[in-house]
Structure 1
Amino acid sequence: MDNVSKLELKVLYEIAQIIGQALELDQTIGDILRILSETLEMQRATVTLLDEETSLLTIRASHGMTAEEKKRGVYKLDEGVTGRIFQTGKPFVVPDISKEPLFLDRTKSRRVERGRIAFLGVPIVLKGQTVGVLTVDRLFGEDVSYEEDVRFLSIVTALISQFVQLGKQVRAREEGLRRENLSLRFKLSKSYQRFFIVGQSQPMTRVHQMIEKVAPTRATVLLLGESGTGKTLTARMIHELSDRAKYPFIKVNCAAIPENLLESELFGYEKGAFTGAVAPKPGRFEEAEKGTIFLDEIGELSSGIQSKLLRFLQEREFERLGGAKTRKVDVRIIAATNRDLAEAVTLGEFREDLYYRLNVFPVLVPSLRERREDIPALLNHFLDKLSREYGRRLSFSPRALDALVKYDWPGNVREMENLVERLSIMVEDERIDLGDIPPYFFSAGKPVAQLPADGQGSLKDMEKREVIGALERHNWVQSRAARELGLTLRQMGYRIKKFGLERMVNERRGRENGLEMM
């Protein structure tokens, strides 16, 4: 046995010792390349693999190259000697790289050296498909044959292909475990149980699937839907099911903070930035470092704040109010709105470039009108919850349940929870009947049912009288009347419009204002 064969056997033996300790693909291949370089004087040994996401050939491991040189080693599938070897699936030898036009030296790792540099490349084949290329440099004289080197490197690539296969299997197993863990966390989450388990309709199933897909990623999410549908809870679920779960979840209601304060609230301020700024204060973005920031009512942002947010989304950097230092933070952004942002863009009320930056992964959270089949289960869920708090178990009569299923629920899940709590306090019997339900519960402005004929008229008439009565008791201030009736200001406005009371409200309120000024 000649000297070269002994060296080759030594290399194979050392590679075999690595097999039992192979835990990380890049490190293992790097160890193999080190052995080739140190034992057989194969310089700049490199393994280039196909990146399935980018469809480019990139250097995964090397020996004898700097990190910067390795980073430059990126090739298209039809580019240079490496691309040719990958496409043909056959070895390729360049006796003198200075005379080969296909040799690109993309890494810029070869300096002026004595002697002629030869370049050898062998495909890495897995199950009949080329997945990468092994290349080495050799310093040889004119009389050297490359056949033995190619033969031996082909044996080495057969071993490397097994490591590549092992790496794929490990990644597939890790992905399976990640999905299994994600599914388990879905099942165990109290928030999930509260909102999703009782939502078995097709629209909610679709939301469930989208949350499961986007939660593990870094993608910006835009939650769309009416007020009260559960967008805040959906945002928290995405956070809890992500790798950021152990870091902060920061919520900012962009509509609740005055425009002149919102910038400092989001980005912070330095000492002396404005009157009263006696000390520097970090903003919500800094507080959310490594976690998630939830920007609710994003459609209400002013044009100035929109510009600053756009810059942050593009560059992940900002300056505090009154400061010059550029800061960077690692946060995930989830935004929500009940506005049609596409229409707002058309009207010039929202920046188009910001809209596209936010709209990476839109999720529409359906209204209760779009998931009526979930209403009975949701009502029972809230009854169960409140029975533990108030120590009594209530149920709905068939007539009451039918009325609530037909009701439009303009306040959605939030309105439902408030109603059930109000009924749990007010109703004295164990059964909630139609007469116990506030008379403003209608579907699309039409009575969902009629009370027994007792001269009181339809539920619609009763609701109108109740709305007018509440307005009269509170000097026609809509916000106060809404609070008495357990409504949001938006719901009160909806009812005033439905009953044609706008003119009456304006006249009476104007009269009250006139009396106050006298």
Structure 2
Amino acid sequence: MSDIRITPLSDLRSIGKAQFESLYHISRLLNRLVYQDSLIEEALDLVVKVIHAERGLFVRYDAEGNAFSIIAARNVNRERLTDLSTFSSGILQQVIDKKAPCLYHDVQSDPNLSQFESVLIHQIKSVIGVPIFHQGEIWGVILADSREDRREFTDENLTFLDFFSNLVSLALDKIIRFEALEQENRILENRLQATQAVPDMIGESQPMRQMAAMIHRVARTDATVLILGESGTGKDLAAQAIHKLSARKNKPFLAQFCGSIPDTLLESELFGYKKGAFSGATSDKKGLFEVADQGTFFLDEIGDISAALQAKLLRVLQNQEIMRLGDHKITRVNVRIIAATNKDLKALAATGEFREDLFYRLNVFPIVLPPLRERREDLALLAEHFIRRYAAREVGLSAAALQKLRDYHWPGNVRQLENVIQRALILGDGGALQPDQIILDDDGDPTLPDFAGTLKDLEIQLLQARLKKYDGNRTLTARSLGVSVRWVQLKLKEMG
């Protein structure tokens, strides 16, 4: 609590009715203010208005360095705001020394003050200084003056400003406490966001805490988000988490995988089509952008879309407008777009393989998902999570098995870990999982040290292994290899 001086009640009776009413209104006004800037501006305006001052300064006082700095001014030449005149500094120092308002009725008749050049230049008649306190110490001073062609300040003004100083000082104490609490709350909120769980995403490592904080922060906005990360890091889960934590959480969340899909098919899925737009278009159909209106639309593997579709997507991001295939009507949509890729879009934009303007539209708020090898401390949590999901009954994980997981480099990230745990549960006997049940063979793909054939032979063996893994599904095979379905088809044709 500030050490506020108590002005005698007898002094209150000496001020006029108009100034007494001003004190009442001032106390109500100051009680509503919650920020220092507002208090400073209002206090200075009130002093200038009530005592009919011509000019005013609010000066911050640094007790440690015994220095003054101007933080607000009224009717003072802006070019002079950077420095206080010797005269002003002298008045301020007297207010500091007395810790009370100081009034000089007739400056030019005072031999100690009339010598200052600024008094003559500005024809200053009266000067008054008012201290503002915080915790018993002077925090700042309000300085006001009046020129010869205006009336001089009075003792009534001095008494009024004595009361005014107390009111402003009390308001300042309250505001500083409020701002300190607000700052503390912001710090706590940031810490909470850094540790708060993201829906469906498991991890307590530092990279995951940082990612969680970014997801919580951007979820509160409608900003476009670009999620970057290797395959299997959980980019789809991050997109869903942003949606679930956003104001759109009760609206649709739609996702579209953009990799290895023919242009015409992907375009009709995204934008819809008009009846008769092409063979088989027997009725109008809404595209996913329209279906996701008011909600969130997630575009996975955005780096794989063609140049033609990139141009159409740019229009959606710029204007929130779409046009169905075969239609000339523009439809407005309100949809938040989240995109994801495992490619370096900035590098692709530099080489012209990806539109640079689209990249910058997507890259409003990038979030990089850490690969599993960079957050090995999360392996135990993740393994336990997948065991609980897939085990028919409670199953443990032996220390040796956990160590084997930690020693692996995880090229397939969390998705690969999920597969490894599923396989281990099938191989297990119902007890704690053991190292021999943790199969880490990179899914049976041939490895270079043991392979003596040509590059073409390696391609064939790798393609055959992936086709076997995905039961002949060419789309999934292409996706796992990072190539197009057409590439897979051409290789199969070469193989006969």
TM-score for both structures, normalised by structure 1:
0.57
Structure 1 counterpart of 2:470: 483
Alpha-carbon distance, 1:340 to partner? 1.1
2:224 and 2:337 in contact (8 A); partners too: yes
Q: Secondary structure at the match of 1:342?
A: helix
Superposed CA offset, 1:41-60 (max 9, x none) = 99xxxxx9xxxxxxxxxxxx
Structure 1 regions of 5+ residues with no counterpart? 43-47, 49-75, 92-121, 136-141, 449-457, 461-466, 495-501, 513-518
Would the aligned equivalents of 2:225 and 2:362 in 1 still touch at CA under 8 Å?
yes
State the match for 2:289 in structure 1. Answer: 284
Taking the TM superposition and a 5 Å limit, the aligned residue runs for 1:165-314 are 166=174, 169-170=177-178, 173-174=181-182, 176-177=184-185, 180=188, 189=197, 191=199, 194-197=201-204, 200=205, 202-211=206-215, 214-216=218-220, 219-241=223-245, 244=247, 246-248=249-251, 250-255=253-258, 258-260=262-264, 262=266, 266=270, 274=277, 276=281, 278=283, 281=286, 283-284=288-289, 287=292, 289=294, 292-313=296-317
1:393 to 357, 376, 395: 395
How far did residue 380 of structure 1 move? 3.1
Q: What is the alpha-carbon distance in structure 1 between the residues aligned to residue 282 and residue 178 of structure 2?
A: 54
Match of 2:360 in 1: 356
Structure 1 position 14 matched with structure 2 position 25: yes
> What is the alpha-carbon distance in structure 2 between the residues aligned to residue 149 and residue 271 of structure 1?
82
Determine the C-alpha separation between the residues in 2 that align with 1:25 and 1:79.
20
What is the aligned partner in structure 1 of residue 412 from structure 2? 411
Structure 1 residues 482 and 444, CA, compared in 2 at 3 Å: closer, same or farther? closer
1:334-370 superposed Cα distances (whole Å, 9 cap, x missing partner)? 3321001122112211122332343344332122233
Higher mean C-alpha deviation, range 174-183 or range 122-131: 122-131
Cα separation, 2, equivalents of 1:134 and 1:237: 55
Deviation, 1:12, is 0.8
1:440 Cα deviation from its structure 2 partner: 2.9
In 2, Cα distance between the equivalents of 1:155 and 1:264? 74
Given residue 468 of structure 2, which amino acid in structure 1 is its aligned partner?
A
For residue 427 of structure 1, report the CA deviation from its aligned partner. 3.1
In structure 1, the partner of 2:379 is 375
Q: Are residues 148 and 195 of structure 1, via their aligned partners in 2, closer, same or farther at CA, if it must alter by over 3 Å?
A: farther
Structure 2 SS opposite 1:382: helix
Is the 8 Å Cα contact of residues 289 and 333 (structure 2) preserved in structure 1? no
**Residues 1:340 and 2:341 aligned together:** no
Q: 1:411 Cα deviation (Å)?
A: 2.1
**Equivalent-residue separation in structure 1 for 2:139 and 2:336 (angstroms):** 38
Counterpart CA distance in 2 for 1:340 and 1:421 is 32
**Compared CA separation, residues 426 and 326, structure 1 to 2 (3 A):** same
Give the 3-state SS of the residue equivalent to 1:410 in structure 2: coil
Q: Distance in 1 between matches of 2:437 and 2:211?
A: 34
1:86 & 1:157 partners in 2: Cα distance? 23
Report how far residue 483 of structure 1 moved: 1.9
The aligned amino acid for 2:258 is A
Q: Is the 8 A contact 1:298 1:336 kept in 2?
A: yes
Find the counterpart in structure 2 of residue 320 from structure 1. 322
Calculate the aligned-residue CA RMSD, in Å: 6.0
CA distance, structure 2, for counterparts of residue 369 and residue 429 of structure 1: 28
Q: How many positions carry a matched residue from both structures?
A: 412
Instruction: Give the Cα separation in 2 of the matches to 1:482 and 1:124.
Output: 81
2-side partners of 1:4 and 1:173: how far apart?
A: 37
Relative to 1, partners in 2 of residues 1:304 and 1:78: Cα closer, same or farther, differing over 3 Å? Answer: farther
C-alpha contact 2:240 2:253 (8 A) present in aligned 1: no
Please list, as runs of the form range in 1=range in 2, the aligned pairs for 1:404-443 lying within 5 A after superposition.
404-438=405-439, 440-441=441-442
| Secondary structure, counterpart of 2:231 in structure 1 | coil
Greater relative contact order (CA < 8 Å, ≥ 6 in sequence): 2
* Residue number in structure 1 paired with 2:16: 5
Distance in 2 separating the partners of 1:218 and 1:397: 44
* 1:114-193 superposed matches below 5 A: 166=174, 169-170=177-178, 173-174=181-182, 176-177=184-185, 180=188, 189=197, 191=199
Alpha-carbon spacing, 1:282–1:491, altered in 2? closer, same or farther (3 Å): closer
Pair 250,17 (structure 1): closer, same or farther in 2 beyond 3 Å:
same
Q: Distance in 1 between matches of 2:77 and 2:282?
A: 60
Identity %: 31
CA distance in 1, matches of 2:310, 2:164: 56
Closer/same/farther in 2, CA of residues 24 and 309 from structure 1, 3 Å limit = farther
* Separation (CA, whole Å) in 2 of partners of 1:285 and 1:134: 62
Equivalent-residue separation in structure 1 for 2:132 and 2:80 (angstroms): 11
Aligned equivalents of 1:166 and 1:365: distance in 2?
43
Q: 2:228 is aligned with what amino acid?
A: L
Structure (1 or 2) with the larger CA radius of gyration: 2
